[in-house]
Amino acid sequence: MSEEIEKVQCLIVGSGPAGYTAAIYASRAGLNPVLYQGLQPGGQLTITTDVENYPGYPDGIMGPQMMIDFENQAKRMGADIRWGYATKVDLSQKPYKVQIDEEKWMETDALIIATGASAKWLNLESEQRLNGHGVSACAVCDGFFFKGQEVAIVGAGDTAAEEALYLSKLCSKVHMIVRRDEMRASVVMQERVKATENIEIYWNTETKEVLGDKKVSGVTVLNNKTNEETTIPIGAFFVAIGHKPNSDLFKGVIDMDEAGYIKTVPGTSKTNIEGVFACGDVQDKIYRQAVTAAGSGCMAALDAERYLGELEHAKG
């Protein structure tokens, strides 16, 4: 382990809308934040094509470009943006310590966690190849682009049911692929899905392959009871089998729910550790939108600013 230690006032780990917004606000507050971008600079938006639901972009914007804009704005405010990812933490005493790239240690008075979440995928080659070209893990983000078309969605929980209902209002038909002979979704959500005329449920069915060259044109599914293969012509394929918060680094240290989402004090970004704040999808399993992530990044920076102000006053 390298003995090199750098001391900063405010450290931000993660670089999606939450991390960059936190960096913008923390910079303007004079906290001289250092932000480490993580393994996927820009977060989930870098694998999203058109973003049309973020205020201020009347003509829409490509996800990767939007994250470049966020980064450039944070830099203009004075944030120190660096490539690298957090590999170890020691939050047992102040100042807190975070190891970067398994070698360098940072010491910080305030830590903002904005590590996001990752969509769970089926791990099909075609799914990854066509990601952003008709394959999506967010119906609310991308459903609009397939208005009037037939689409498929895979999943059986509340999120899958909600997204299937959302798509049913936009698309001519929704093919819902469910692996077992029942759903995990709540009874009320199941009833709504079953009562929706343009949602067809495929029970005991698994996705074999997403079809298409440059964009999605269909999906091949297998009924695991009858062994019958079916090809469904579709314009888009939505994966709704859950998200995994990128919080493993903080397991056993910061309070989390059973799925690994960091718990924050309601109405704030505060975690159970004083001076450690969480924002964006690592603590939000309900909304998961760029605009709500950015809002919570703002909250984290303001909470950190107040905390550091009180710390300074106490030293006073």
Same domain, 82 and 142: no
Per-residue pLDDT reduced to its tens digit, 248-299 = 999 999 999 999 999 999 999 999 999 999 999 999 998 888 999 999 999 9
Q: Which domain holds residue 260?
A: 5-118+243-315
**Catalytic residue numbers, as ranges:** 138, 141-142
Same domain, 211 and 294: no
Phi, psi of 76, rounded to the nearest 5 degrees: -60, -30
Give the count of alpha carbons within 13 A of 177, CB side only. Answer: 27
User: What per-residue confidence (pLDDT) applies to 158?
Assistant: 87
CA distance 298 to 284: 14
Same domain, 221 and 77: no
Question: Any residues with CB less than 8 A from the CB of 170 and at least 6 apart, and which?
Answer: 143, 144, 146, 147, 148
Q: Give the pLDDT band of residue 2 (cuts 50, 70, 90).
A: very low
User: What per-residue confidence (pLDDT) applies to 36?
Assistant: 97
Same domain, 200 and 255: no
Residue 1 has pLDDT above 70, yes or no: no
Same domain, 100 and 130: no
Task: List the CATH number of the domain containing 198.
Answer: 3.50.50.60
Per-residue pLDDT reduced to its tens digit, 92-104 = 999 999 999 999 9
Phi, psi of 119, rounded to the nearest 5 degrees: -65, 145
DSSP β-ladder status, 96-100 and 104-113: antiparallel
Q: Is residue 277 classed as helix, strand or coil in its secondary structure?
A: strand
User: What per-residue confidence (pLDDT) applies to 3?
Assistant: 63
Per-residue pLDDT reduced to its tens digit, 174-226 = 999 999 999 999 999 999 999 999 999 999 999 999 999 999 999 999 999 99
- Of the residues 239, 266, 288, which one is the last residue of a structural domain? 239
Percent of the chain with pLDDT over 70: 98
CA distance 284 to 261: 7
Axis-axis angle for helices 158-170, 187-195 (nearest 10): 30
User: What per-residue confidence (pLDDT) applies to 268?
Assistant: 98
- Of the residues 195, 210, 239, which one is the last residue of a structural domain? 239
